[in-house]
Amino acid sequence: AAAGFCPCRALLARRGGALRALCGSVRGLAAGPETHFGFETVTEAERREKIYQVFESVAKKYDVMNDSMTLGIHRVWKDILVHKMNPSPGTLLLDVAGGTGDIAFRFINYVRSVRDRQLQRKLKHHQNLSWREISESYQEEKLKSLGDSQVVVCDINKEMLKVGKQKAQCLGYSEGLSWVLGNAEELPFDDDKFDVYTIAFGIRNVTRIDLALQEAYRVLKPGGRFLCLEFSHVSNPLLSRLYDLYSFQVIPVLGEVIAGDWKSYQYLVESIRRFPPQEELKAMIEDAGFFKVDYQNLNSGIVAIHSGFKL
């Protein structure tokens, strides 16, 4: 579908791919097994390098591009993810590939409002409070407005974390939030630590998805939940064609116009097509050891939320 619009670019890419395949066969053994980068074939090491560069270059305009590409619907998707999580105060969340902190901020808001409601209910129950008790409850509110909940944002890319930290400062999120540089395939955390592990629009960029899933299993507490929000496979044929048209014709153009970066957004739409569909991802999650694995399609498959439990 893309070839119609930009034949010269496609030709260049194919020639580049053929050349790379020739050189790759020579040094391929050293650089690791073959994998894909968008519609190209690269080695694993190359892929990691390329993806790092992609996100380094888009970091500053990441949020703006998200809004313009999805017409703001990505906010709804992320809201639905946090609602599905339904975190209670005291939950420890690990948000992997959460660079600019969207999920983390939503989590904090949600937990804060749940905690407020809890405190209100408690106050309503105890009708005859002494003045001391009332003042203590106000103090408690200020100290524990999150009720011991914490979110750790982990990302492999320094630029994305930088943007996220700046956003947090701007929006005024300070407590219960920490930023860690780490690789999803090799998390720098102990076993059995987190209540919930989320990865929103990040697992597509992980080179070895099975390793990332195993790491997720490792760091989750027993009973912990794995949630993955990702672009997925549209089954409706009409919608699928419209979606393809939009993806390959409009999004790279937007990328060039808004962020000055055609290739990164070309990579983005290609990587969406290369990502396994819902059932395959579900099988991979089950392979990693999760139970009660299920997925929920949003917008008839454009995005899917996969959920699994470590039991």
Q: Which residues bind another protein (CB under 8 A)?
A: 1-3, 10, 14, 33-36, 39, 41, 84-88, 90-91, 190-193, 195-196, 209-210, 218, 220-225, 273-274, 276, 280, 283-284, 287, 289, 291-292, 307, 309-311
State how far the Cα of 39 lies from the Cα of 20, in Å rounded to an integer: 13
Do 104 and 87 touch, CB atoms closer than 8 A? no
Q: How far is the CB of 99 from another protein (least distance, A)?
A: 23
Quick one: 6 or 73, whose CB is closer to another protein? 6
The count of other CB atoms within 10 Å of the CB of residue 232 is 26
Q: How far is the CB of 22 from another protein (least distance, A)?
A: 16
Which neighbouring-strand residues pair with 42? 35
Q: How far is the CB of 142 from another protein (least distance, A)?
A: 23
Cα 145 to Cα 102, 133, 169, 178: the distances in Å are 20, 17, 18, 17
Quick one: 64 or 283, whose CB is closer to another protein? 283
| Contact residues for 259 (Cβ-Cβ < 8 A; gap 6+) | 57, 58, 61, 64, 65, 265
Quick one: 118 or 300, whose CB is closer to another protein? 118
Q: How far is the CB of 66 from another protein (least distance, A)?
A: 25
Q: How far is the CB of 3 from another protein (least distance, A)?
A: 5
Do 311 and 291 touch, CB atoms closer than 8 A? yes
Q: Which tokens belong to 88? A: 């209670």
The region, left, alpha or beta by phi > 0 then psi within -120 to 50, assigned to residue 227 is beta
Quick one: 42 or 156, whose CB is closer to another protein? 42
Q: How far is the CB of 110 from another protein (least distance, A)?
A: 13
Q: How far is the CB of 59 from another protein (least distance, A)?
A: 28
Quick one: 43 or 157, whose CB is closer to another protein? 43
Quick one: 1 or 29, whose CB is closer to another protein? 1
State how far the Cα of 69 lies from the Cα of 91, in Å rounded to an integer: 32
Quick one: 12 or 171, whose CB is closer to another protein? 12
What SS3 string covers 56-122?
HHHHHHHHHHHHHHHCCHHHHHHHHHHHHHCCCCCCEEEEECCCCCHHHHHHHHHHHHHHHHHHHHH
| The residue type at 10 | A
